[in-house]
Amino acid sequence: MQLVLFVVVLILPAFQSVGFLFASSAPDDCVQLIIGGGNIKCRLGQFDYFEDYDPHTCELKCKGGRLPMPKVCSGSKVTCTPSVRTTLFDWKQDLEKTKAKLINEWCRGSQGK
């Protein structure tokens, strides 16, 4: 009985606060969007792969070159506000649509040959 009380009193609030933290935009969330979008953008930009991003210049660092990021950098950093997260999410979605469209066109074109 004491163990149940311990769980309810001490551990449950900890889980609730973690859930609350994930309800807001976590910095990692924006980083994951930059990485996901960067991987696609670098490949579409004819570079080998995404390496990193530079918040000072607001550019993606690709193997072999650099490409512009969306306008989400401020003061040499990317602060993951809800509006920044939305901008990054929309950017990544647009890149995924472009990638899917190109794959579809290439696959359809190669079937006729």
Whether 20 maps to a domain, the answer reads no
Measure the CA dihedral 99/54/29/102, to 10°: 0
Number of domains the chain is built from? 1
19 lies in a domain? no
pLDDT digit string, tens, across residues 13-70: 443 333 333 444 566 899 999 999 999 999 999 999 999 999 999 999 999 999 999 9
Q: What are phi and psi of 67, to 5 degrees?
A: -135, 150
Domain membership flag for residue 2: no
Residue 9 lies in a domain: no
65 inside domain: yes
Look at residue 79 and tell me if it is in a domain: yes
Residue 85 within a domain: yes
Predicted TM-score of the model (pTM)? 0.72
* Structural domain harbouring 80: 25-104
What percent of the chain clears pLDDT 70, i.e. is strictly above it?
A: 73
Query: Is residue 31 domain-resident?
Result: yes
Tokens read off for 91: 């950017």
